[in-house]
Structure 1
Amino acid sequence: MRVARPSIFVDRCGMTLDQLRVFVAVAERRHVTRAAAALGLTQSAASAAIAALEKRYGARLFDRVGRGIELTDTGERFLPEARAVLKQVASALNVLEEIADPAHGSVAIAASQTIANYWLPRRLAAFQEAFPGVRLDVVIGNTRQVEDAVAEGRADLGLVEGPIRHTELIRRLVDRDRLVLVVAAGHPLPSAKEAGRVDLRSVSWVIREAGSGTRAVLEELALRDGIKVDDLAISLVLPSNEAVREAVEAGAGATIISEHVVAASLGSGRLQSVPIDLPRRDFSLLRHPDRYASSAARTLTERLTDRSRDVLLSHN
């Protein structure tokens, strides 16, 4: 038997969980319509929930700017508290659901782009087939955003590429990724300094935003050569792997990127790889040691890490 999920929670002031969910969804998306769609509500219902909160407490949570909305100072202060309440309620429900049926529950997952788009989907599909009663909620960000989500309790599990800053998190290897330096077909190749190395300053670079795994690799290569990323010729900074790939295919410059992302483009000849020695990049699973892990989260962790020993041996 599955434990019924309460639709509302009323405190002594009359605030409901549904209102908190709407507030957080709107705050994260900065858009009422998209938030309503994500929650399965009408736009009018979402707007009414926000209006009820603001009227009840006499506080403006959002400023309406043109067609968009922005959090007010009050909204910014309220957001982490609202997230904390929802997280605590979700944890309580997970405990009850696990007691009622260990094969049910939900797992909040944050994953960086390469993992989320190319490595994770088939593995989650296989897990869902084995455990159809478990709901998997996935959000995508860069490595910094993912580790922050795990550290702050907004995600039960995180999956990232490369090093992390939050040393308190438990990190387990799940796979390794091969990186490649690519340019468009027919594009001049970067000048070689020596075998396996290129002159980084001779390249026009297309890169991801700060905090992404592939940018961190370029930063490490630059540091090895005694220079900073800001010293390089950066033509474009883009927010996704796919945007980077498309720009490089169009001749905007070179990039360092996961082979997963450009495999089809290399195979079709739209891109060419440049011979360079690049480090293999770890795909790691993150969890917080002090936060409750449901049976569903533990089972998913075991499924995603059961190949880690084979991965280590095959790449050593």
Structure 2
Amino acid sequence: MTLKQIRYFIAIAELGSISAAAQAVFVSQSTLTLAIQQLEEELEVSLFSRSAKGMTLTHQGHQFLRQSHLIQSTVENAKRNLQEATHQESGQLVIGVTSLVAGYFLADLLTRFQLAYPRVKINVVEDERHYVEHLLVSGEIDVGVLILSNLSNRQALQTEVLVHSPYRLWLPARHPLLEHDSISLADVATEALIQLNVDEMEHSARTFWQRLNTPPNITMRTSSTEAVRSLVAAGLGLSVQPDMTYRPWSLEGDIIEARSLHDLNDTLDVGLAWRRGSQRPALVDAFLSVVRGGHGDSRR
């Protein structure tokens, strides 16, 4: 197993296709294909399900993706520690997060930062987006990790997108829509729908449902992503959710299918925010550097 294979695997997992990953890591498609085949042979598992629409992670693939991020981060941190051996940062960094983001991004970001800066004390403040913004602008927290799509203080904050997460439709196994070659928002609007009502997700969803003349048939609302998974898997409704929250099984072990909607190209943007204008604290620069080492750099 090589670090290149790990890097290629992460690229394919995040982009969903050999062709897109080949462009991202600047190698040929045949090189990527061979590297993944060799990796699967060594691990003796299938990491991807392959179809004409692209590459999707298997259960084992999801498990290996988390380990791959840790491997990559450990190597980067080892290099950084050697380069910065004479300059050990210390102090306190206050990070603001919203609840949905905390569940999917926080542990990985904090693990990588603590490996690189073990002497820095981290305090985490979790609250709703508008209050995290208020704390950022007032200087009470140093950096925020939150959904950027609904920011209200854009002039006072500088932001950087870490993930553009596309929306997909969640369905239970054997649902009739799975037989369709293409699914649209109109196909879904009349189905019983489950809406995730956390981190202003309902507000985000409203922007794409408003394009239809027919309002969506939302029959349940919940602030729990796991509840959405269980309800969908049990056949009690469908749900349109950002791909970052998708897992192919519920807590009960039931299968959840996910399909793209051909007329929905919106994304949920997750990233960093910090106060604009004033000189950034050194620890904020350090945090940004570590986080950028594990994600694409999409500044705006």
In the superposition, the TM-score normalised over structure 1's length comes to 0.55
Give 1:285 shift.
0.6
Amino acid at match of 1:275: S
Match runs of 1:46-61 below 5 Å: none
Label 1:241 to 1:144 Cα distance change in 2 as closer, same or farther (>3 A): farther
* Residue 121 (structure 1) aligned with residue 107 (structure 2): yes
SS in 2 for 1:263: coil
Give the number of aligned pairs. Answer: 206
SS in 2 for 1:237: strand
* Contact kept? 1:102, 1:296, Cα under 8 Å: no
Tell me which residue corresponds to 2:243: 259
Q: 2:142 aligns with which of 131, 156, 159?
A: 156
Distance in 2 between the 1:273 and 1:110 partners?
31
* Residue 208 (structure 1) aligned with residue 192 (structure 2): no
* Contact kept? 1:176, 1:311, Cα under 8 Å: no
* Contact kept? 2:247, 2:256, Cα under 8 Å: no
Tell me which residue corresponds to 1:303: 290
Tell me which residue corresponds to 2:122: 136
Give 1:290 shift.
4.9
Tell me which residue corresponds to 2:161: 173
Amino acid at match of 1:174: L
What are the superposed Cα offsets for residues 184-210 of structure 1, whole Å, 9 maximum, x if unpaired?
223453998x94523253022211226
Tell me which residue corresponds to 1:274: 259
Give 1:152 shift.
4.5
Unaligned runs of 5+ in 2: 1-86
Give 1:120 shift.
3.0
Tell me which residue corresponds to 1:225: 212
Tell me which residue corresponds to 1:184: 172
Amino acid at match of 2:290: R
SS in 2 for 1:155: coil
Label 1:145 to 1:249 Cα distance change in 2 as closer, same or farther (>3 A): farther
In the superposition, the TM-score normalised over structure 2's length comes to 0.58
* Contact kept? 1:189, 1:274, Cα under 8 Å: no
Match runs of 1:241-252 below 5 Å: 241-252=225-236
SS in 1 for 2:118: coil
Distance in 2 between the 1:255 and 1:145 partners?
28
SS in 2 for 1:272: strand
Distance in 1 between the 2:100 and 2:236 partners?
21
Larger radius of gyration: 1
* Residue 238 (structure 1) aligned with residue 225 (structure 2): no
Distance in 2 between the 1:247 and 1:188 partners?
17
Label 1:120 to 1:176 Cα distance change in 2 as closer, same or farther (>3 A): farther
* Contact kept? 2:99, 2:198, Cα under 8 Å: no
